[in-house]
Amino acid sequence: MRPLKTIILGVATSFLVVMGSTGMARECAENYNRIPMYAYQNFPVNWDEQAEPRFYALIRTPQEYDQVFHPAPIAGDPRPFHPEASLYEKSQILMVAHVFAASPDPSKADRIFEVERVTTKAGELTLRYRLKRPKSDVDAAQFKFFLAIQVPRANYQKVTIFEDGKLVGQLKPSEGLWTVPKPAPE
């Protein structure tokens, strides 16, 4: 009877080890939808790009969206100013913006940010992208280019952003840090 107990104990231990290791957090690819830069008639709010070269935010509500983006009406343009409020029932928007001296060519704007991957692991959302800087035009005005992606709604503890393989920012939405820098009060 002793050998049978040893076998059962061994099998049970192996089972627990296997089950325990599968319960460990693994990095998983996250579904996302890219929102084209010119989908809405708006632009990111101003920020001090000398102090903060990037502006980034995890937008969870229509009110947060309105703090990060301002309307830019164009006569006769049928595009809306912001997403439908229903988007936030199942999704959030992760946005990263840069300022460049370049012409805002709508046909090339969405090529500046190339998403490599979006992943989740143990309550952390990670965005990795490549930045393809637009050709600098000394005669061009400073213009805000941005990447906006729609990700599943979740209570992310941390959002980590990598640009060209380098860590460039972190948000901690559960602690109230949902945007860097903080938008100026209206």
What is the dihedral sign for C-alpha 130, 65, 104, 79? Answer: positive
Alpha-carbon span 161 to 82, nearest angstrom: 24
Alpha-carbon span 53 to 161, nearest angstrom: 13
Instruction: Give one DSSP letter per residue of 13-52, joined into a string.
Output: HHHHHHHHHHTS---EE---EEE-TTSSSEEEPP--TTT-
Whether 9 shows a pLDDT value over 60: the answer reads no
Span 70-110, pLDDT tens digits: 998 888 989 999 999 999 999 999 999 999 888 777 788 89
Span 33-75, pLDDT tens digits: 999 999 999 999 999 999 999 999 999 999 999 999 999 888 8
pTM: 0.83
Assign 108 to helix, strand or coil: coil
Report the pLDDT averaged over residues 114-131.
97
